[in-house]
Structure 1
Amino acid sequence: MSGHSKWANIKHKKGKADAARGKIFTKLGKEISIAAKAGADPDSNGKLRDVIAKAKSCNMPNDTINRAIKRGSGELGDVNYEEIIYEGYASGGVAVIVNTLTENRNRTAGDVRHIFDKNGGSMGSTGCVGWMFDKKGLIIVERLDSIDEEELMMKALEAGAEDFSAEEDSYEIITDPAAFSDVRLQLEKGGVPMVSAEVTMIPQNTVSVTDSEDIKKINKMLDMFDDNDDVQDVYHNAELPDEE
């Protein structure tokens, strides 16, 4: 299930595509390893705790999670992933942010530039579109008969959330990035079933894309980014027609 907000759909469609291609565990493994560099104990490492929760929500096996933690903490050799963020434009003037984790900066830069160019877009300089997005914690809770909307809203706000909204088939809880870990943990302790919980980039405004060629090029670009092992997350401000 996913919310009908534009940014939630962007993320969840990506997640489903990753799972279908068998890529999601590889990408989550990198996230866990990076987080574990700051400490292998999730009780004292909030970032690691959050990524483990995200991995478990995607049904990542415990032994796979543990291996990723050991890689990050150095038990299984050094991991030298570098986090690099690329920005640019897709067809139709759509703003795109591409988050990567790589051990080969030149390869990844070349791949990202190729994907932009091949699909009618262009890679820009750092900061060219980042100002169009806000970094926020986003927690999605499925709409269920067993969940009382007002009670959930009070729990979220009391835990430190900034905003709460009810979508067609989900509830969305927005937090400041610094408060995300605490809010997620408080909701988890309160028994709130979360579809997803992560720090994300939410566009301040969206661009409605109606030209069929632009839609085709943007979707192809997103598919190619999803297929690239170095790409962790892609954010954009396109309002695309729902895909059946």
Structure 2
Amino acid sequence: MSGHSKWHNIQAKKGKMDSKRGKVFTKIGKELMMAVKNGGGNLDTNARLRDVVAKAKAANMPNDNIQRAIKKASGELGAVNFETIVYEGYGPSGVAVIVETLTDNKNRSAGNVRSAFTKGGGNMGTSGCVGFMFQQKGEIIIEKEDQDEDELMMMALDAGAEDFSAEDEVFVITTAPEDFGTVREALEEKGMEFLEAEVKMIPDTYTEINEEDAKKFQKMLDLLEDDDDVQNIWHSAEFPEGWEG
């Protein structure tokens, strides 16, 4: 994991999110809908819904949009028929890629994801082909600004975090998936604001790619991010220094 910069990835991702904010909000809205379907619309009793709301806030989704999505989902549960399907494969230079979709049409999703892999110089593999290279972890990222590192570290570890690290412009707090909500809520109560806060698949090691392969892989990522069915993309690519995308 040496040399991997979460701050660099966040900056690149934020630039794309800003330009595609409507699509990002639509995708989070689907997650809110599924959380309500599976656990109800009450934030006090639905831990998954609380986690998705935290993700929405980290993405700067307005509170009105969040509440509207929850109310809409609560009133239209019968119309919700999405299912989660995960695809795995390889990008250029053997980069490991996991794509999570939330879809009402498996054939459409599979075709679109396969096409993105192919156009980006990669290939879609079978289920499990790269999953063993990742670990599911909760990850909370906080911008350094004027935060006291020792104080924040103790706060996170006392709340149940597994690990705490400082890099570039951010602090990275890692949790077991089952402890993510507890740690996140403890930090929220202390007034912490997050750049990112979600349970994700984190690679055990990263693969450095050159400029040429970075261009190909970026094309794959752009195609996947533009797909309405794709909710999350996790990968092991380490882009070249100064890569702008």
**Same fold, TM-score > 0.5, yes or no:** yes
Aligned counterpart, 2:233: 234
1:224 alignment counterpart: 223
CA contact 1:163–1:175 (8 Å) conserved in 2: yes
Q: Which residue of 1 aligns with 2:85?
A: 84
Q: Which amino acid aligns with 2:124?
A: M
Q: CA RMSD in A?
A: 1.8
- Do 1:71 and 1:78's aligned partners in 2 also have CA atoms closer than 8 Å? no
Higher fraction of helix: 2
What secondary structure sits across from 1:229 in the alignment? Answer: coil
Task: Assess, with a 3 A threshold, how the Cα gap between structure 1 residues 150 and 134 changes in structure 2: closer, same or farther.
Answer: same
Please tell me whether residue 67 in structure 1 is matched to residue 72 in structure 2.
no
Give 1:13-162 correspondences, 5 Å limit.
13-21=12-20, 22-37=22-37, 38-75=39-76, 77-145=78-146, 147-162=147-162
* Per-residue deviation, 1:112: 0.2
Aligned residue for 1:198? 198
The one-letter code matched in structure 2 to 1:90 is G
Counterpart-to-counterpart distance in 2, 1:134 and 1:243: 26
Structure 1, residues 159-208: CA drift from partner, whole Å, max 9, x if none?
00000001110100000000000000001001222222111111100111
Q: Distance in 1 between matches of 2:223 and 2:153?
A: 37
Is the contact made by 2:119 and 2:219 (CA closer than 8 Å) also made in structure 1?
no
Task: Name the counterpart of 1:214.
Answer: 213
Instruction: Tell me, in whole angstroms, the C-alpha distance in 2 between the residues paired with 1:206 and 1:155.
Output: 29
> Distance in 1 between the 2:35 and 2:176 partners?
19
SS in 2 for 1:194: coil
Structure 1 unaligned segments of length 5 or more: list them. Answer: none
Is the 8 Å Cα contact of residues 5 and 167 (structure 1) preserved in structure 2?
no
In structure 2, C-alpha distance between the alignment counterparts of 1:180 and 1:5, rounded to whole Å: 23
Residue pair 2:137, 2:176 contacting (<8 A) in 1 also: yes
Identity of matched residues, %: 54
Query: What is the alpha-carbon distance in structure 1 between the residues aligned to residue 60 and residue 32 of structure 2?
Result: 14
Distance 2:186 2:166 in 1: 20
Shift in Å at residue 57 of structure 1? 2.7
Consecutive unaligned residues of structure 2, counting only runs of 5 or more, are none
User: CA–CA distance in 1 between the matches of 2:12 and 2:30?
Assistant: 20
Shift in Å at residue 10 of structure 1? 4.0
Contact 2:7 2:167 in 1 (8 A): no
The 2-side partners of 1:173 and 1:74 are apart by 36
Residues 152 and 56 from structure 1, CA distance in 2 versus in 1: closer, same or farther, beyond 3 angstroms? same
Paired residues in the alignment total: 239
Q: Which amino acid aligns with 1:217?
A: K
> Within 2, Cα distance between the matches of 1:26 and 1:18?
12
TM-score by length of 2: 0.91
